[in-house]
């Protein structure tokens, strides 16, 4: 990923990249009090298009509600800020990162006396788990860490603090020689990966854990539901025991960053044929066609940057 260029939208103004700064005593630095989004913009025949921008902004405001943060901008203003950042930086393809955080005012756990600051930045970001994983499949393990129990950290909020758990998971995976890790919830059922949702396919049926399994309600996950439905594939949400992973015909991960990435090995056990499975390939192809504007955008998921 290449950082450090162009403009960042910061509290309503476009500022130079190096000027988008905060104080070290900002609440967020000490207590992880932020919420954020990750959105991709793709180059299409009709120019750059942001994929599912509205859904991401809706989720940002949902995360804010959970954490009692009053965002001092309307959804429309935030949405326009994302478009503006792509436009002003002349990106064709990029990853957009809106972030809302508790700023500088008063330290101490009580966050309520601090201002709410907002920013939107964008940069170029390639295949999240590598190009090879996207084509041939990622090698993952089951983490020794668990996702937070439902009554600890609200998983449906995409909050900065949640990503301390994700960092432990990711560091362990990388240090053990894997691309990524699958994490179990507090009850021992499959939850998700450090930054992706998970799907398994067995005998033609697609399964994914429900929102009660400490997952982020991924927007790519929702997109896959729609694609699968449109292709008359059966998809079910229910609790998945760990061993279902090993005996699945296919496993894949979804996320804005990871898109639709097949999994070829879990704990060194080969999944299915060990290559990108047939169903995964179909879903992945349709996903790429959608984001690139190659199939009809019947759900109005593309926001063109003019």
Q: Which residues pair with 205 in a beta bridge?
A: 202, 234
Q: Which two tokens stand for residue 211?
A: 């929102």
Kindly state whether residue 196 participates in binding ligand PPE, applying the rule CB under 6 A: yes
* Cα dihedral 39/257/100/75 (nearest 10): 20
Q: How far apart, in Å, do the first and last CA atoms of the chain sit?
A: 25
> φ, ψ for residue 98 (rounded to 5)?
-80, 140
Number of residues located near ligand PPE, criterion CB under 6 A? 16
Q: Is residue 158 flagged as an active site residue?
A: yes
Instruction: Compute the Cα dihedral for 161, 146, 134, 259 and give only its sign.
Output: negative
Among 159, 173, 216, 305, binds ligand PPE (CB under 6 A): 216
Stretch that binds ligand PPE, among 4-12, 79-87, 131-139, 217-225 (CB under 6 A): 217-225
Could you tell me the smallest distance in angstroms from the CB atom of residue 108 to ligand PPE? 28
Among 221, 245, 271, 293, binds ligand PPE (CB under 6 A): 221
Kindly state whether residue 140 participates in binding ligand PPE, applying the rule CB under 6 A: no
Site for ligand PPE in 254-283 (CB under 6 A): 254-258
Q: Which two tokens stand for residue 138?
A: 């990622």
Could you tell me the smallest distance in angstroms from the CB atom of residue 190 to ligand PPE? 13
Stretch that binds ligand PPE, among 6-14, 21-29, 212-220, 284-292 (CB under 6 A): 212-220
Of 21, 90, 158, 281, the catalytic one is: 158
SS3 127: coil
Nearer to ligand PPE, 64 or 219 (CB): 219
Residue 33, classified by CB atoms within 10 Å of its CB into exposed (0-12), middle (13-18) or buried (19+), is buried
User: Cα separations (Å) of 132 from 36, 135, 264?
Assistant: 28, 5, 11
Site for ligand PPE in 44-103 (CB under 6 A): none
Among 33, 35, 38, 129, binds ligand PPE (CB under 6 A): 38
C-alpha–C-alpha distance, residues 28 and 38, integer Å = 18
C-alpha–C-alpha distance, residues 14 and 76, integer Å = 17
Among 179, 180, 185, 192, binds ligand PPE (CB under 6 A): 192
Kindly state whether residue 147 participates in binding ligand PPE, applying the rule CB under 6 A: no
> φ, ψ for residue 15 (rounded to 5)?
-120, 160
Stretch that binds ligand PPE, among 77-85, 194-202, 205-213, 286-294 (CB under 6 A): 194-202
Q: Rule CB under 6 A: which residues touch ligand PPE?
A: 38, 166, 192, 195-197, 216, 218-221, 254-258
**Which positions are annotated as active-site residues?**
158
């Amino acid at each position: 990923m290449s950082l450090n260029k162009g403009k960042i939208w910061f509290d309503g103004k476009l500022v130079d990249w190096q000027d988008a700064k905060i104080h070290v005593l900002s609440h967020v630095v000490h207590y992880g009090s932020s919420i954020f989004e990750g959105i991709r913009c793709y180059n299409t025949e009709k120019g750059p298009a942001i994929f599912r921008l509205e859904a991401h902004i809706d989720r940002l405001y949902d995360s804010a509600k959970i954490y009692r943060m009053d965002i001092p901008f309307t959804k429309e203003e935030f949405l326009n800020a994302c478009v503006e950042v792509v436009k002003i930086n002349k990106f064709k393809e990029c990853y957009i990162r809106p972030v809302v955080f508790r700023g500088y005012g008063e330290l101490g756990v009580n966050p309520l006396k601090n201002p709410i600051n907002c920013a939107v930045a964008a940069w170029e970001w390639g295949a999240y788990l590598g190009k090879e994983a996207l084509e041939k499949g990622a090698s993952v393990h089951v983490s020794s860490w668990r996702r937070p129990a439902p009554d600890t950290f609200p998983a449906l909020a995409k909050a900065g603090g949640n990503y301390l758990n994700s960092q432990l998971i990711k560091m362990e995976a990388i240090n053990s020689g894997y691309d990524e890790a699958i994490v179990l919830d507090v009850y021992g059922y499959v939850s998700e990966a450090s930054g992706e949702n998970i799907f398994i396919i067995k005998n033609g049926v697609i399964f994914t854990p429900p929102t009660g399994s400490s997952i982020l309600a991924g927007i790519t996950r929702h997109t896959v539901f729609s694609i699968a439905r449109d292709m008359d594939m059966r998809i079910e949400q229910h609790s998945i025991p760990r061993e279902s992973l090993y005996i699945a015909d296919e496993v894949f991960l979804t996320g804005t960053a990871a898109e639709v990435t097949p999994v070829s090995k879990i704990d060194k056990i080969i999944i299915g044929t060990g290559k990108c499975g047939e169903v995964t390939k179909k879903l992945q192809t349709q996903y790429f066609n959608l984001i690139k504007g190659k199939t009809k955008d019947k759900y109005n998921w593309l926001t063109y940057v003019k």
